Amino acid sequence: MAHSAINVFFSGNNFSRILQGLWTSVWIAGVSLVIGLVLGTFLGVLRTLPNKIIRFILRLYLEFFRIVPTIVLLFLFYYILPRSFHINWPASWMAVLAFALWVAAEFSDIVRGAIESVPIAQKESGLALGLSKVQLFRYVLLPQAVQLELPATINLATRVIKTTSLLMMISIMDVIAIGQQIIEANNQKYPTAVFWIYGLIFFLYFIIDYPLSVWSKRLAARQDR
């Protein structure tokens, strides 16, 4: 009797709707990560340059996106931008913009740290070989930095995926929002549906994030050797 609420998955097309909501979360996280990682690499390289002004501005940018909670960023992009600057994109692209800038900020710090921790001898050998600055980055620093930054990057990716659960706050129909629709629609017939729906959502997030987490652990272990 208590478990009859599991039927909630099979009535109508509830199950495919949840998967559709999950897809919304996943593509927003994916696109933001791609844009954010590209932009973050660029900014991270800039942050290793000796120019104090560039470093200062990028530092401000990083601190802003690191300190302001993601939910506030989303509200800022979704409600304030259209009102103040007449930028009125669909909610999902606003979310991509906010997430991508956040990822870029966090990733720039990872890249900077990784580049700076490449042994100084490597840099000096490169310069001694007569490599230009660009060549030094392209052939010596970045390939070694990528190794160092991978575990932290994967960790960042799992954080982004988890944070997509905030998207429902700006009217995006992500997996949580659709889950709540189903719970409320079936409140009368299946009062315990809430347990099953959130259980399923927990499971879905888990099967996306757990492999990433295992992967990053393995990479970290390999580095220790």
Partner 1 sequence: MKKNKSRNIIIGVLVVLIIAVAAFFGTKSSKNNSSNANESSVTTIKKRGVLRVAVFGDLPPYGWVDDHGNRVGYDVRLARQMAKDLGVKVKFTQVNANNRVDTLNSNKADIVLANFTQTPERKQVVDFAKPYMKVSVGVISPKNAPITNASQLKGKNLIVNKGTTAENYFTKKGGVDLLKFDSKTQQFNAFKNKRAAALADDNSYLYAWVKKNPNYTVGIKNIGPNQFIAPAVKKGNKSLLNWTNKEITKLANKKFFTADYNKELKPYFGKEVKPSDIVLN
Binder of partner 1 out of 88, 119, 130, 224 (CB under 8 A): 88
Question: What would the x/- binding string for partner 1 be over residues 3 to 42, using CB under 8 A?
Answer: --------xxxx--x-------------------------
The reply on whether position 59 binds partner 1 by CB under 8 A is yes
Please choose, out of 22-30, 57-65, 105-113, 131-139, the segment that lies near partner 1 by the rule CB under 8 A: 57-65
The rounded distance, in Å, linking the Cα atoms of 110 and 7 is: 46
- Decide whether 97 or 148 has the Cβ nearer to partner 1: 97
Q: Which residue in 116, 108, 100, 110 sits closest to 58, CA to CA?
A: 108
The rounded distance, in Å, linking the Cα atoms of 41 and 34 is: 11
The reply on whether position 84 binds partner 1 by CB under 8 A is yes
**Smallest separation, CB 178 to partner 1 (Å):** 8
- DSSP code of residue 187: T
How many alpha carbons lie under 13 Å from residue 180 in its C-beta half-sphere? 9
The amino acid occupying position 163 is: T
Question: Per CB under 8 A, which of residues 150..189 are in contact with partner 1?
Answer: 169, 171, 173, 177-178, 180-188
The reply on whether position 143 binds partner 1 by CB under 8 A is no
In angstroms and rounded to an integer, the radius of gyration of the C-alpha atoms of the chain is 22
